[in-house]
């Protein structure tokens, strides 16, 4: 069985909790293991929404070709020019981790830039609180924050059903598995 928090030891995403602090924006260059490419017919409007609303920053741009945005490490988006964007939001979404304390301010920022852009927040059966945002390019972005673990919750039962143990379950004094 795996431990719920082991993955956080290798991740820029902090463990969930009431005092979880998001990592600083990462300005370094790395080989991106994954990224989203979003076509836009208005780079200026898109960059404004992604930076002021979603909290990304412009890492670099090649005028007329690409704007590389980033939030945390491994949260990379490439905005690329297109002649049009889809009229309907696709069923597919791209999710970005955040911490619970960020959700309200991100919702407020997105609504300030684009009033009808936010749906949620809502709690999920897998112990997150999610907000769905529709961007100016009609991309569906999910901001997802892990909730503090309650061992008596329905979410804990769901996680246990797939073999994920509660945080610190079966640990000895030094934090190693007993």
Long-range pairs for 162-167: beta carbons < 8 A, 24 or more residues apart: 163/1, 163/2, 164/1, 164/2, 164/3, 164/4, 165/1, 165/2, 165/3, 165/4, 166/4, 167/3, 167/4, 167/5, 167/15
| 171: in domain | no
Q: Would you state the pLDDT for residue 154?
A: 72
Q: Can you give the pTM of this predicted structure?
A: 0.79
Q: Residue 122, CB half-sphere, CA atoms under 13 Å: how many?
A: 8
| 168: in domain | no
Least confident of 21-30, 36-45, 98-107, 118-127: 21-30
| 42: in domain | yes
Task: Say if residue 15's pLDDT is above 90.
Answer: no
| 116: in domain | yes
Q: Which of 17-21, 43-47, 149-153, 173-177 has the highest mean pLDDT?
A: 43-47
Name the percent of the chain lying above pLDDT 70: 84
Q: Would you state the pLDDT for residue 17?
A: 73
Q: What is the mean pLDDT of the chain?
A: 84
Q: What CATH number does residue 50 fall under? A: 3.10.180.10
Predicted confidence (pLDDT) per residue in 131-158, tens digit:
999 999 999 999 999 888 777 777 677 7
| 174: in domain | no
Domain limits for position 48? 2-17+32-163
| 6: in domain | yes
| 100: in domain | yes
| 25: in domain | no
């Amino acid at each position: 069985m795996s431990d719920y928090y082991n993955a956080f030891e290798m991740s820029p995403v902090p463990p969930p909790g009431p005092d979880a602090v998001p990592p600083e924006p990462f300005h370094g260059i790395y080989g991106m293991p994954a990224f989203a490419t979003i076509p836009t017919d208005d780079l200026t409007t898109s960059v404004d929404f992604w930076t002021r609303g979603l909290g990304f920053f412009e890492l670099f741009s090649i005028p007329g070709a690409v704007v590389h945005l980033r939030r945390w490490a491994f949260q990379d988006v490439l905005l690329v020019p297109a002649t049009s964007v889809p009229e309907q939001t696709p069923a597919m979404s791209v999710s970005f981790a955040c911490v619970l304390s960020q959700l309200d301010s991100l919702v407020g920022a997105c609504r300030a830039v684009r009033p009808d852009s936010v749906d949620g927040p809502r709690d999920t059966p897998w112990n997150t609180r999610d907000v769905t945002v529709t961007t100016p390019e009609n991309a569906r972005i999910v901001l997802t924050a892990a909730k503090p673990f309650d061992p008596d919750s329905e979410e804990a039962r769901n996680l246990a059903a797939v073999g994920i143990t509660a945080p610190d379950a079966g640990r000895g004094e030094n934090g190693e598995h007993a």
